[in-house]
């Protein structure tokens, strides 16, 4: 049985800081470079494609800007980032991140759950972007995955997140603005790629355990936001 452990220091993101809205705010930055593909629900660089970097940016509570994609792109340029990347936002303190590793899969989570609930809830949805909450998850898989497996990995990470929430005593499936990014090695030309990333597949099982541990470490205790 694979044991969940803290990731290697080389797998941990950099911590950047900036002054904005009268506060000192942080950001987590992964500089991956070429040879990586990602699937993400992020504001900037979402979808599936080659991605060279990932940044999880902390913003002030009550964030009201209506151009989050442009905001993230500007912060990426300020950090000297070039090429396609992924930008996520959160109102949670990124210094309180949870990290875990399992069989080469590394997961980092930040968690703010002040606004939380169940996914299948009554009522109409809210059009347009919402203020950042939120539980953000960034996972690195050191193996190439097909497009279908990347989508499967998002589902597996989400299942593991919900399991972590319930195990921590929180009566919810997440927040309205949760986001996920899964990075995987780009396959070599004509080379193989893993077709599955469900929770009982080789890489999906490792991903699930790493995400479960990382989210659990990032969450506040029951009754705490």
Residue with tokens 């986001």: 179
Q: Which of 17-21, 91-95, 123-127 is least confident?
A: 123-127
Between 125 and 26, the higher pLDDT residue: 26
Q: How far apart are CA 178 and CA 63, in angstroms?
A: 16
Query: Residue 181 has which token pair?
Result: 């990014």
pLDDT tens readout for residues 155-210: 999 999 999 999 999 999 999 899 999 999 999 988 999 999 999 999 999 999 99
pLDDT tens readout for residues 40-82: 999 999 999 999 999 999 999 888 888 999 999 999 999 999 9
Instruction: Return the closest-CA partner of residue 144 out of 218, 205, 196, 217.
Output: 196
pTM of the model: 0.90
């Amino acid at each position: 049985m694979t044991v969940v452990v803290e990731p290697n220091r080389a797998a941990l993101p950099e911590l950047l800081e900036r002054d904005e809205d009268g506060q000192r705010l942080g950001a987590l930055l992964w500089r991956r470079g070429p040879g990586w593909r990602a699937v993400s629900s992020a504001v900037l660089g979402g979808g599936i494609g080659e991605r060279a970097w990932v940044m999880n940016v902390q913003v002030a509570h009550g964030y009201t800007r209506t151009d989050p994609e442009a905001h993230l792109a500007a912060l990426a340029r300020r950090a000297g980032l070039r090429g396609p990347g992924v930008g996520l936002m959160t109102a949670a303190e990124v210094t309180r991140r949870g990290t875990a590793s399992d069989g080469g899969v590394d997961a980092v989570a930040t968690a703010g759950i002040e606004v939380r609930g169940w996914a299948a809830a009554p009522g109409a949805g809210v059009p347009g972007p919402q203020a950042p909450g939120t539980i953000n998850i960034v996972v690195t898989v050191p193996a190439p995955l097909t497009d279908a497996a990347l989508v499967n990995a998002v589902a597996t990470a989400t299942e593991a997140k919900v399991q972590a929430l319930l195990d921590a005593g929180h009566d919810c499936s997440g927040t309205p603005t949760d986001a996920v990014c899964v990075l995987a090695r780009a396959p070599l030309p004509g080379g193989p790629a893993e077709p599955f990333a469900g929770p009982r597949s080789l890489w999906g099982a490792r991903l699930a355990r790493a995400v479960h541990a990382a989210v659990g470490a990032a969450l506040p205790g029951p009754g705490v936001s």
